[in-house]
């Protein structure tokens, strides 16, 4: 038996859709035991029914019977993980919202049509208007709320105030805060925790589930009405990993993924023991109580129900044992959630003001593949399951499911237009030699028909041999960028959301990894530059004019060789300030010494052009002070070959005597005899350098990666590591620095 490597736990095809009764035929299910052992059928991905019933149970006994039956049918000698795997992503595809990856970041608030901003401060750069996203930085116009290490730090940044004074902070000793949501006088801090059973012995807990080694999401409500004395008013843990967090109308919606708790599966030492192990694992499944199947909430070490039995939905086509839960609650002084759960994996999350959509690649039974690699599904057969949940003032609820061909890149691959889900996917691989397996992309429109998401319109054949690198769905249009060697920028007309139409396209070198609406007819792309062969040559920004959707044009281009920006994979790092028509984009550059340095580049879109206004770095206060002798510009010009990188960016070369070395806020490296010869073409003796003297090359001692930028009034605040720096918004002149260290 041969196994593919790099697989994660998975299962059969996810599916979807209608049905209101608890049983397969609409009647109540009374099965309490395990069915006879039967071999799991092998599925042919191209023939299997992709949409089937998703049903809700009406009693806890019925729910437990269903879970045990499904577990019995799919457990193997290695538990639920044996021979199961997820289909690999198409080249260049990213699992969006990873770890809330895509979810833990900041920039400036953007309406879906980039309407003029009335507020005098920026917040998180959100995908959808009216839907705030969890991030490491938040602002209310007077204060910045920053998560650093295990602390929430509150900084006064109000106009006319102290100008960058730390007001207060609160620590989370045993948690690792990842992101937060900001309400009226309250901050919800979201942390990831892992409980090691070895560390919990003797903790006094009488609940055996408490001592299981599991991952949990900690939800902390913090009262910040007095910013000088923030207080945690409630602290709970919820079983599972956080996939995403959104805030709509004062109500938080968390998407969590959980697996059965602590099923004590056995594993055989060889193939000989697999039948015995399978039978023992079936017994474990048959005896597992409901508490081990469902996620829970924990407060003060005591377990509470998180989801009601009649709020759990189960696809008839097995989708795996991972459960995706939408956990909703108002932001207040206490965590009071309501939950809807689906027995299916969840990966990429997109939210509109009305709905939450959760996607995952469609799964298949890989036990067949483990025995016969020729049955491995073709890339052109990969599919994505989509599940829709309702959100609002009431409890969340499951609405519908469907399946589309291909894989999504991230949350921007989805959008809601006139109650239709618009979704962009890529099928196949860009470098396949098989013409039938070459990649292509599509944009489909799905309508909710009962509890089914049904495809009603599609634009197909986008970027043959290429993969999607970015998507932006705004009002009545969608913009799609694919790439292999050139960047086809597609404009899709969504005037009739049920019948999308390709309006036009533009091909340029490189690609855009993130698209941002500057106005109704200008789109700014941040990504990579490339030559005619598709080779990466550095960072690039492109301003697209889409006033004529049938003939989009590039009206501005900016590039920086050797640089990259995390905006490509983290849109929260991007800020666009509409009053000055300026985008603030963090970059990382590498000079000839391979020393990285971070800058925030200001790009102006004024006048429908793209121009650099300037760039800002974290200034090193009193940097470069040394008791050595710095080489003058004339000496450097005379002695050093500038093409060989002896003089680092922002640094200098110095001559030090006995007992002398280094410089403040700089990293200095001694040049030995061979390096002196390499850089100057002369020996130390030929240069007249005494044996007790050393030559050092010095450069700034930290990269100072710019993580976030936030605008308050006439000040641009930059966050880098444990430092906030104020900069004049008009002149970009660096100013006050605030340390966030405890």
Q: What is the pLDDT of residues 46-74, one digit of tens each?
A: 333 333 457 887 789 999 998 998 888 88
Residues 6+ apart with CB under 8 A from 141: 119, 120, 121, 158, 712
Q: What is the pLDDT averaged over residues 409-426? A: 97
- 226 in any annotated domain: no
DSSP letter assigned to residue 115: P
pLDDT at position 174, please?
81
Residue 305, helix vs strand vs coil: strand
**Minimal CA–CA distance to 235: which of 247, 222, 246, 250?**
222
Q: At residue 216, does pLDDT exceed 80?
A: yes
Higher pLDDT, 57 or 450: 450
pLDDT at position 83, please?
32
CA 399, chain centre distance (Å): 25
Distance CA 516, CA 518 (A): 6
Q: At residue 695, does pLDDT exceed 50?
A: yes
pLDDT at position 620, please?
66
Q: What is the pLDDT averaged over residues 484-492? A: 84
pLDDT at position 130, please?
94
DSSP per residue over 407-429, as a string? B--SGGGEEEETTEEEEEEEESB
Q: What is the pLDDT averaged over residues 652-680? A: 86
Distance CA 652, CA 700 (A): 10
- 58 in any annotated domain: no
Token look-up 């989805």 returns 414
Of the pLDDT bands very low, low, confident and very high (cuts 50, 70, 90), residue 448 is very high
- 673 in any annotated domain: yes
Q: Which of 30-44, 169-183, 353-367 has the lowest mean pLDDT?
A: 30-44
pLDDT at position 589, please?
82
Of the pLDDT bands very low, low, confident and very high (cuts 50, 70, 90), residue 22 is very low
Distance CA 462, CA 299 (A): 50
Of the pLDDT bands very low, low, confident and very high (cuts 50, 70, 90), residue 652 is confident
Higher pLDDT, 565 or 432: 565
Of the pLDDT bands very low, low, confident and very high (cuts 50, 70, 90), residue 437 is confident
**Minimal CA–CA distance to 600: which of 613, 586, 614?**
586
Of the pLDDT bands very low, low, confident and very high (cuts 50, 70, 90), residue 190 is very high
Q: At residue 487, does pLDDT exceed 80?
A: no
Phi, psi of 70 (to 5 degrees): -65, -40
Q: Contact 390/73 with Cβ under 8 angstroms?
A: no
Of the pLDDT bands very low, low, confident and very high (cuts 50, 70, 90), residue 219 is very high
pLDDT at position 71, please?
87
Number of H helices, E strands in the chain: 6, 46
- 337 in any annotated domain: no
475: which strand partners? none
pLDDT at position 638, please?
79
pLDDT at position 432, please?
57
Of the pLDDT bands very low, low, confident and very high (cuts 50, 70, 90), residue 712 is very high
Residue 81, helix vs strand vs coil: coil
Of the pLDDT bands very low, low, confident and very high (cuts 50, 70, 90), residue 332 is very high
Biggest CA–CA distance in the chain, Å, is 96
pLDDT at position 644, please?
62
Higher pLDDT, 702 or 504: 504
Q: Contact 455/467 with Cβ under 8 angstroms?
A: no
DSSP per residue over 584-601, as a string? EEEEEEE-TT--EEEEEE
pLDDT at position 207, please?
63
- 356 in any annotated domain: no
pLDDT at position 91, please?
31
Q: At residue 326, does pLDDT exceed 90?
A: yes
Distance CA 739, CA 742 (A): 9
Q: At residue 20, does pLDDT exceed 70?
A: no
pLDDT at position 434, please?
67
What's the pTM value of the predicted model, to 2 decimals?
0.80
CA neighbours closer than 13 Å in the CB half-sphere of residue 697: 16
CA 736, chain centre distance (Å): 31
Distance CA 434, CA 418 (A): 39
pLDDT at position 56, please?
84
Q: At residue 118, does pLDDT exceed 50?
A: yes
pLDDT at position 40, please?
30
Q: What is the pLDDT averaged over residues 472-478? A: 96
Distance CA 14, CA 404 (A): 11
Distance CA 695, CA 633 (A): 15
Residue 653 belongs to domain spanning: 629-700
Residues 6+ apart with CB under 8 A from 503: 477, 491, 492, 493, 549, 550
Instruction: Output the average pLDDT for the chain.
Output: 81
- 516 in any annotated domain: no
CB atoms within 10 A of CB 160: 6
pLDDT at position 520, please?
94
Of the pLDDT bands very low, low, confident and very high (cuts 50, 70, 90), residue 646 is low
Token pair for residue 583?
């985008």
Distance CA 662, CA 623 (A): 11
Q: How many domains are there within the chain?
A: 1
CB atoms within 10 A of CB 597: 21
Residue percentage of the chain with pLDDT more than 70: 78
The separation between the first and the last C-alpha atoms of the chain, rounded to the nearest angstrom, is 55
Token pair for residue 151?
């602390």
Higher pLDDT, 223 or 643: 223
pLDDT at position 200, please?
54
- 65 in any annotated domain: no
């Amino acid at each position: 038996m041969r196994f593919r490597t790099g697989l994660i736990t998975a299962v059969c095809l996810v599916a979807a859709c209608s049905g209101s009764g608890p049983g397969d035929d609409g009647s109540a299910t009374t099965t309490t035991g395990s069915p006879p052992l039967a071999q799991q059928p092998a599925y042919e991905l191209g023939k299997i029914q992709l949409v089937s019933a998703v049903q809700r149970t009406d009693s806890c006994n019925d729910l437990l019977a269903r879970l045990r039956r499904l577990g019995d049918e799919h457990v193997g000698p290695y538990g639920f993980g044996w021979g199961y795997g997820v289909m690999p992503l198409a080249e260049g595809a990213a699992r969006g919202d990873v770890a809330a990856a895509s979810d833990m970041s900041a920039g400036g608030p953007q309406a879906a049509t980039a309407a003029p901003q009335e507020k005098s401060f920026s917040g998180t750069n959100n995908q959808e208007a009216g839907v705030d996203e969890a991030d490491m930085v938040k602002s209310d116009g007077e204060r910045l709320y920053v998560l650093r290490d295990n602390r929430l730090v509150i900084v006064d940044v109000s106009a006319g105030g102290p100008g960058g004074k730390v007001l207060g902070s609160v620590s989370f000793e045993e948690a690792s805060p990842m992101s937060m949501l900001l309400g009226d006088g309250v901050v919800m801090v979201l942390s990831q925790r892992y409980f090691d059973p070895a560390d919990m012995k003797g903790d006094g807990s009488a609940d055996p589930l408490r001592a299981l080694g599991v991952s949990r999401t900690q939800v902390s409500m913090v009262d910040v009405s007095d910013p000088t004395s923030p207080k945690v008013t409630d602290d709970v843990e919820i079983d599972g990993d956080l996939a995403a967090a959104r805030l709509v109308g004062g109500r938080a919606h968390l998407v969590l993924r959980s697996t059965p708790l602590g099923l004590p599966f056995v594993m055989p030492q060889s193939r000989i023991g697999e039948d015995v192990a399978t039978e023992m694992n079936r017994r474990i499944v048959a005896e597992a109580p409901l508490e081990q199947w469902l996620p829970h909430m924990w407060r003060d070490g005591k377990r509470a129900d998180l989801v009601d039995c009649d709020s759990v939905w189960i696809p008839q086509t097995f989708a795996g044992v991972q459960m995706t839960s939408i956990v909703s609650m108002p932001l207040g002084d206490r965590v009071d959630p309501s939950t809807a759960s689906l027995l299916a994996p969840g990966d990429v999350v997109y939210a509109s003001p009305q709905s939450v959509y959760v996607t995952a690649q469609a799964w298949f039974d890989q036990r067949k593949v483990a025995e016969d690699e020729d049955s491995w599904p073709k890339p052109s057969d990969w599919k994505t399951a989509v599940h829709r949940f309702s959100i609002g003032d009431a409890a969340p609820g499951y609405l519908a499911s469907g399946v589309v061909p291909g894989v999504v890149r991230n949350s921007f691959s989805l959008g809601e237009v006139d109650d239709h889900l618009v979704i962009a996917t890529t099928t196949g691989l860009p470098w396949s030699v098989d013409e039938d397996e070459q990649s292509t992309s599509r944009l489909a429109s799905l309508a909710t028909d009962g509890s089914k998401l049904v495809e009603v319109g599609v634009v197909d054949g986008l970027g043959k041999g290429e993969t999607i690198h970015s998507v932006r769905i705004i009002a009545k249009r969608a913009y799609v960028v694919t790439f292999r060697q050139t960047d086809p920028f597609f404009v899709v007309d969504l005037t009739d959301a049920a019948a999308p139409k390709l309006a036009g396209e533009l091909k340029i070198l490189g690609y855009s990894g993130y698209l941002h609406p500057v106005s109704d007819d200008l789109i700014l792309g941040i990504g990579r530059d490339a030559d005619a062969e598709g080779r990466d040559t550095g960072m690039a920004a492109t301003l697209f004019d889409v006033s004529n959707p049938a003939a989009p044009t590039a009206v501005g281009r900016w590039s920086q060789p050797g640089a990259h920006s995390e905006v490509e994979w983290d849109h929260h790092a991007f800020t666009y300030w509409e009053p000055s028509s300026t985008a603030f984009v963090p970059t990382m550059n590498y000079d000839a010494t391979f020393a990285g340095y971070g800058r925030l580049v200001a790009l102006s879109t004024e006048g429908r052009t793209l121009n650099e206004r300037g760039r800002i770095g974290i200034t090193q206060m009193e940097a470069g002070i040394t008791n050595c002798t710095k080489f003058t510009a004339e000496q450097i010009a005379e002695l050093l070959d500038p093409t060989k990188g002896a003089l680092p960016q922002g640094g200098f070369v110095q001559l030090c005597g006995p007992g002398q070395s280094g410089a403040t806020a700089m990293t200095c490296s001694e040049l030995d005899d061979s390096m002196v010869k390499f850089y100057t073409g002369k020996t130390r003796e030929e240069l007249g350098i005494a044996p007790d003297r050393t030559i050092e090359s010095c450069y700034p001692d930290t990269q100072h990666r710019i993580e976030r930028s936030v605008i308050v009034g006439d000040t641009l605040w930059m966050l880098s590591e444990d430092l906030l720096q104020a900069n004049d918004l008009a002149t970009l002149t660096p100013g006050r620095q605030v340390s966030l260290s405890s």
